[in-house]
């Protein structure tokens, strides 16, 4: 069966087409992505502006068209924190569903964490034991932990890399004052979830998903040795400080760092550093699967039931 997963995120509108059937591994056959930082279109009233709505509609129309060209039998569209948190998000989604005849659904932060956890569990298998899974998106941070396919704890915080960059970081390179304010803010927000997570520190494996963390892992490998598939606590401390002193142009020239990612990689690195330090994690392993694969796996489980 050919499925299309349409991920309306804070950084991109990403269509992933996969061929699969119940019990099979999702096999990606086609990808289409439009960069659209929806957080850039948020007004002071927490509304997505008219320009942002127009751009979003343009990207949705193009993605839906591409899904039809690819022969998608079932489109699974979902939206994450940017539309979830915007005051006019539900109104925008309702209009999009009517206009393009799709069923765009808003995922809660907890659902994001659970679906990402499911993807990591299926990737690493039952023999991996207790998992702690961390995902840093454009708008939010998700953490989940447990021994089954459904995590025992799943939490979400508005600590996404794009969101934090817009709200806290100024200058080029970013000013030391704004970096300190960012780090203090991250610490304060993490304090609210640490009691729920502290007993999961001794999980058998700590897993990282998302483009931000994959990029950081690659920088760890390039700068401090390794295969680019893990993030070490000592490396993330060095990397976060180093990235903060670089200009946007310098970060954009780093291998694997796009111009869009270069803006927010500093915030993402400080979130990763803070999470690892507060949970006393020495290593994060990169998982190739994340939220989109989790959506496919959950849907196929539902179809098989």
Kindly give the confidence (pLDDT) of every residue in the chain, 305 residues in length, as a single tens digit, with 9 standing for 90 and above.
Answer: 999 999 999 999 999 999 998 888 888 999 999 999 998 999 999 999 999 999 999 999 999 999 999 999 999 999 999 999 999 999 999 999 999 999 999 999 999 999 999 999 999 999 999 999 999 999 999 999 999 999 999 999 999 999 999 999 999 999 999 999 999 999 999 999 999 898 887 899 999 999 999 999 999 999 988 889 999 999 999 999 999 999 999 999 998 898 889 999 999 999 999 999 999 999 999 999 999 999 999 999 988 76
Q: Where are the domains of the chain?
A: 2-106, 110-286
Nearest to 161 by CA among 248, 44, 37: 37
> Does the structural domain 2-106 have CATH classification 3.10.620.30?
no
SS3 assignment, position 74: strand
Peptide bond into 173 cis (omega under 30): yes
11: Cα separation from own chain's centroid: 9
pTM over the 0.75 mark = yes
56: Cα separation from own chain's centroid: 18
Nearest to 208 by CA among 266, 151, 288: 288
67 vs 6: CA distance, rounded Å: 9
Q: What topology does CATH give the domain 110-286?
A: Nucleotidyltransferase; domain 5 (3.30.420)
168 vs 282: CA distance, rounded Å: 27
Do 2-106 and 110-286 show the same overall fold?
yes
């Amino acid at each position: 069966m050919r499925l299309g997963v349409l991920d309306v995120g804070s950084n991109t509108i990403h269509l992933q087409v996969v061929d699969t059937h119940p019990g099979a591994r999702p096999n990606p056959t086609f990808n289409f992505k439009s960069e659209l930082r929806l957080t850039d279109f948020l007004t002071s009233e927490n509304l997505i502006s008219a320009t942002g709505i127009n751009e979003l509609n343009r990207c949705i129309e193009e993605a839906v068209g591409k899904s039809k060209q690819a022969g998608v039998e079932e489109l699974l569209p979902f939206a994450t924190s940017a539309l979830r948190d915007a005051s006019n998000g539900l109104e925008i989604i309702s209009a999009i569903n009517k206009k393009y005849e799709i069923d765009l659904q808003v995922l809660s932060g907890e659902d994001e964490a659970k679906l990402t956890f499911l993807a990591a569990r299926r990737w690493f298998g039952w023999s991996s034991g207790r998992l702690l899974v961390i995902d840093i998106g454009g708008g939010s941070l998700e953490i989940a932990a447990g021994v089954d396919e459904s995590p025992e704890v799943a939490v979400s915080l508005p600590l996404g890399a794009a969101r934090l960059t817009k709200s806290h970081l100024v200058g080029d390179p970013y000013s030391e004052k704004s970096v300190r304010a960012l780090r203090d803010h991250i610490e304060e927000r993490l304090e609210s979830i640490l009691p729920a997570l502290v007993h999961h520190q001794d999980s058998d494996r700590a897993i990282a998903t998302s483009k931000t963390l994959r990029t950081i892992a690659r920088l760890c490998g390039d700068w401090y040795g390794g295969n680019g598939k893990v993030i070490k606590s000592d490396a993330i401390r060095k990397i976060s400080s180093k990235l903060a002193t670089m200009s946007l142009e310098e970060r954009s020239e780093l291998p694997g760092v796009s111009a869009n990612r270069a803006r927010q990689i500093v915030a993402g690195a400080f979130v990763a550093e803070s999470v690892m330090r507060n949970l006393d994690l020495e290593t994060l392993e990169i998982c190739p699967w994340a939220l989109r694969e989790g959506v496919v796996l959950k849907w196929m489980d539902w179809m098989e039931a």
